[in-house]
A and B are shown apart, each in its own frame.
Chain A
Amino acid sequence: MSDRKPEGGRTTDAPVKSHQPFADGDAVACFPIVSRTDFSETTFLLEIHHPMMAKAAKPGQFVIVMVNEHGERVPLTIADFDRVKGTITLVVQAVGKSSREMQDACQVGGSIFAIVGPMGIPSEVSNAKKVICVGGGLGVAPIFPQARAFKEAGAYVIGVVGFRSANLMFWEEKFKSVCDEFVVCTDDGSAGIHGLVTQGIEQAIIAHGDINEVVAIGPPIMMRACAETTRPHKIKTMVSLNPIMVDGTGMCGGCRVRVADRIKFACVDGPDFDGHAVDFDDLLSRLHRYKPEEKQAMERYSDSCRRLSLDPTKANDTGTQTAIETGGQ
């Protein structure tokens, strides 16, 4: 058959790091960035060459990324994959140190130090006849492959996307192409419905009495609101949780969440869970665990960036972020 060995996107000029005896080309050590799109001041898209991952990825799965060997492991949802080109797409919002660093450092022609996955259980594309796919902010990216999969499975797909304002919108046309109906909500009313995605959901539920399922991805507060909106209607609602993660392979429990009052590990039991059974208060409070450190890392990074812009000879080294800022995951 074809792949005799995983092609992790090896390049011939992988940097040899003397202090890391295992980074001498043995590891699949280099993941080239083949394209980048900036949607706004803080949000950007990276397309990364990784044929095996592109072949294996399914909607709902995520990867763990390290920008460099000093980096932390950051979970990011696989927003799209192209099995023909052999690439996967990540959409990132620069919120903390690591994502800011990605924004600064990840350019086309460059590469990422480590990327591993696809992690998590793929989203179940049920045989629902009518689904609402809800994406809040960056959640629009990971909900897209799911909407596409539902469409391919023959479902009637209603897309509901929410942004703070019209200038943060992205993938509108792409998303429309896999939806039978498409609703935009903005906090400031600069496009579509003036309000939250929950209003879009309410309208869709009223218009269609036969919605079988709602799938929502976005910030945890938004996913909770979606789950509360559908609860009285008893419509099955799936959410993709984004707790803090370290390894992503189920060996540390850093990502544990409470679902139906049982401990689950989002990285191996999820990240998709029944929104009506998730303890969102617990998730939100756990996401705040490292706030002081995140702030400290971000400040140091900003300082070093300022210093660097004044004095390009100074090296920079610092910082942190966690999953909370990476929207979808």
Chain B
Amino acid sequence: MARKTIRTIPQERAVMSVQDPEVRSKNFDEVSHGFDLENAMLECERCLMCPEPACIAGCPVSIDIPGFIAKMLEKDHRGAYDLLTDSTQLPAVCGRVCPQEDQCEGVCAVGVGTDLEPVAIGRLERFLGDMAIEKGWQKTSHIVANRFRVAIVGSGPAGMACAADLAKAGCSVTIYEALHAPGGVLRYGIPEFRLPNTVVDAEIANLKALGVEFQCNILVGRLFTIEQMLDDMGFDAVFIGVGAGTPHFMDIPGENLNGVLSANELLTRCNLMHAGEFPKYDTPLGLGRRVAVIGSGNTAMDAMRVSLRLGAEEVHCVYRRSEVECPARREELHHAQEEGVTFHWLTNPVELLGDADNNVRSIRCIQMELGEPDASGRRRPVPVAGSEFDFDADTVVYAIGTSPNPILGQTSHIGLNKWGYIDTDDSLATSLAGVYAGGDIVTGAATVIQAMGAGRKAADSIRRYLGIRSSGVVYKPEQSGFDGSLFGIDLAEQNFNRIRLT
């Protein structure tokens, strides 16, 4: 068969149906329906099977993308899924929530320098993930138990990815979660219409099938400390993946008015506590009619779209930069616009104004203009003098980022950096021997897949720390040459205790 070229592949992306914006802004059902089998196969045809695939390098967990697409083209879906899950623990999740335009799809040869759209890698990944859930596929064979016990703090994407790799390596893994349901941001943060909880539950069930134990309602750092886990509780290693969940406020006047809340609070009330179903569930929501969300990242998009579905009449986005700099996933921004969110670019709040009952009534905003690029490479917004105006809102939601949660720093002697995030070296080891950390608590708020990448990297470091051979390294007797071996045993193997020099 002749090699595929840009000209011979299908020029248009395969069709994926989405819910109509008018209808979907009133329900919590998933917006994107995903590929059906026929369209998934059509989309696979668009992959050029590059000899040196840029997409693999673009993926934080280095999924063999052309590999699984080739298996799909052979109609071996189970094989494709197995190959995919060698790298990722949560395909059904990441296929939905990764910002693919900045990762695998952003560097896909089909989309680079052409006017074509790149291969829809994320949608293909989601297709396989959903198929696996539907058919109940699991990969649990070939696990040989060892004697090591590892504890994971936090059941978000970082913790789950780390747990999966260590369980596959034979460790006995326990995940501790402070909330009453596992999943971290996948459960309390990302709403149902982007990531159904049934998908999260299925991925958690897969972890349980690997032998991972979940313990909810355990607040590590208060119920017991990291040090106690290593000493009294007898864990050989600990991974910290607690996220960076403390929301920022702007410290402008009026922030303590009623009706002002963080996006975390809004999303937790809605997604975890089902406040939208009040009074069937006990947690109240108290959402107003005219909601203003400050910020424009993915959290802001989620907060706005949740507000629409919970019956807010008007939802506004207030963001100090322009649409070009908007940090949200392109698809979410597009969906939010379709659903009727009004965007106010280059607008910054300076004060919140309340009524006699201490409820927020309006936001005093100032117009901004873009100046020189700042450290992040984005053009810095500068206030336009004298351009203040009042903007009515009876609910104000802050989605301007998070800072590290202080609990672990308060209770254990773990090294933090100057911003309060946990300090790690390149292998994600912390200042405490045997304790590793990854995800948002190390890097600050990032993506699900970056957290998973960190979890996997930490798992690799923990394996090396415990002296478990990494299945990722193929054993070659003369790998390091003669000088790198001792009695024919590669020094890189670290099993030095088997060798006694006389």
A contact residues vs B (CB 8 Å cutoff) = 1-6, 8, 20-22, 26-29, 52-53, 56, 61, 66, 70-73, 97-98, 113-119, 121, 246-247, 249-254, 256-258, 263, 265, 268-269, 279, 282, 285-286, 288-290, 293-294, 296-297, 300, 317-322
Q: In the complex, which residue of chain B has the Cβ closest to the Cβ of A288?
A: B258
Contact of B215 among A28, A115, A288, A322 (CB under 8 A): A28
Q: Are B265 and A253 in contact (CB under 8 A)?
A: yes
- B283 contact set on A, CB distance < 8 A: 72-73, 246, 320
Chain A CB within 8 A of B17 CB: no
Q: Given known contacts A52-B223, A253-B264, A286-B256, is B214 in contact with A22 (CB within 8 Å)?
A: yes
Can you identify 12 A-B contacts, CB atoms within 8 angstroms?
Answer: A5-B233, A21-B204, A22-B182, A26-B213, A28-B217, A70-B282, A72-B273, A258-B256, A285-B357, A285-B358, A289-B258, A289-B286
Q: Given known contacts A5-B174, A265-B246, is B281 in contact with A70 (CB within 8 Å)?
A: yes
* B346-360 contact mask (Cβ, 8 Å, vs A): 1 or 0: 000000000001100
A-B contact count (CB 8 A): 190
Name the distance in Å between A13's Cβ and chain B's nearest Cβ. 18
Q: Given known contacts A28-B215, A28-B218, A116-B180, is B282 in contact with A250 (CB within 8 Å)?
A: no
Q: Are B217 and A116 in contact (CB under 8 A)?
A: yes
Q: Are A268 and B406 in contact (CB under 8 A)?
A: yes
Q: Are A115 and B268 in contact (CB under 8 A)?
A: no
Contact of B180 among A1, A27, A121 (CB under 8 A): A27
Name the distance in Å between B262's Cβ and chain A's nearest Cβ. 4
Q: Are A114 and B256 in contact (CB under 8 A)?
A: no
Q: Are B280 and A318 in contact (CB under 8 A)?
A: yes
- A256 contact set on B, CB distance < 8 A: 249, 256
Chain A CB within 8 A of B496 CB: no
- Residues of B contacting A: mostly: loop
Q: Are B281 and A27 in contact (CB under 8 A)?
A: no
* B404-419 contact mask (Cβ, 8 Å, vs A): 1 or 0: 0111001000000000
CA distance A5 to B215 in the complex (A): 10
- A293 contact set on B, CB distance < 8 A: 278-279, 284-286
- A3 contact set on B, CB distance < 8 A: 232-233
- A66 contact set on B, CB distance < 8 A: 180
Q: Are B217 and A114 in contact (CB under 8 A)?
A: yes
Q: Are B216 and A252 in contact (CB under 8 A)?
A: no
In this complex, which of A28, A265, A282, A317 has the most chain B Cβ atoms within 10 angstroms of its Cβ? A28
Contact of A97 among B177, B234, B251, B282 (CB under 8 A): B282
Q: Are A249 and B407 in contact (CB under 8 A)?
A: yes
Contact of B249 among A71, A118, A263 (CB under 8 A): A263
Name the distance in Å between A242's Cβ and chain B's nearest Cβ. 16
CA distance A258 to B218 in the complex (A): 29
- B406 contact set on A, CB distance < 8 A: 250, 268-269
| 4 further A-B pairs in the complex, CB-CB below 8 A; given A71-B282, A320-B278 | A73-B273, A117-B219, A246-B269, A247-B179
Contact of B258 among A72, A286, A321 (CB under 8 A): A286
Q: Are B180 and A251 in contact (CB under 8 A)?
A: no
Chain A CB within 8 A of B255 CB: yes
CA distance A2 to B234 in the complex (A): 9
Q: Which of B205-227 contact A (CB under 8 A)?
A: 205, 208, 213-219, 222-224
* B252-289 contact mask (Cβ, 8 Å, vs A): 1 or 0: 00011011011011001100011000111111111000
- A4 contact set on B, CB distance < 8 A: 233-234
* B106-138 contact mask (Cβ, 8 Å, vs A): 1 or 0: 000000000000000000000000000000000
Name the distance in Å between B99's Cβ and chain A's nearest Cβ. 22
Chain A CB within 8 A of B245 CB: yes
Name the distance in Å between A8's Cβ and chain B's nearest Cβ. 7
Q: In the complex, which residue of chain A has the Cβ closest to the Cβ of B222?
A: A118
- B53 contact set on A, CB distance < 8 A: none
Chain A CB within 8 A of B388 CB: no
Q: Are A56 and B224 in contact (CB under 8 A)?
A: yes
Chain A CB within 8 A of B201 CB: yes
Q: In the complex, which residue of chain A has the Cβ closest to the Cβ of B265?
A: A252
Name the distance in Å between B349's Cβ and chain A's nearest Cβ. 15
Q: Are A320 and B214 in contact (CB under 8 A)?
A: no
Chain A CB within 8 A of B247 CB: yes
Contact of B286 among A2, A117, A290 (CB under 8 A): A290
Q: Are A117 and B204 in contact (CB under 8 A)?
A: no
CA distance A118 to B180 in the complex (A): 15
- A114 contact set on B, CB distance < 8 A: 180, 216-217
- A119 contact set on B, CB distance < 8 A: 219, 222
Name the distance in Å between A63's Cβ and chain B's nearest Cβ. 9
- A6 contact set on B, CB distance < 8 A: 215, 218, 223-224
CA distance A5 to B284 in the complex (A): 35
Chain A CB within 8 A of B52 CB: no
- A71 contact set on B, CB distance < 8 A: 281-282
Q: In the complex, which residue of chain A has the Cβ closest to the Cβ of B286?
A: A290
- B179 contact set on A, CB distance < 8 A: 116, 247, 249
- B269 contact set on A, CB distance < 8 A: 246
Contact of B222 among A56, A254, A258, A265 (CB under 8 A): A56
Q: Are B231 and A254 in contact (CB under 8 A)?
A: no
Q: Are A319 and B279 in contact (CB under 8 A)?
A: yes
- A268 contact set on B, CB distance < 8 A: 246, 405-407, 410
Contact of B216 among A28, A290, A294 (CB under 8 A): A28
- B382 contact set on A, CB distance < 8 A: none
Q: Given known contacts A119-B219, A249-B219, is B180 in contact with A52 (CB within 8 Å)?
A: no
Q: In the complex, which residue of chain A has the Cβ closest to the Cβ of B178?
A: A249
Name the distance in Å between B288's Cβ and chain A's nearest Cβ. 12
Chain A CB within 8 A of B181 CB: yes
CA distance A263 to B403 in the complex (A): 14
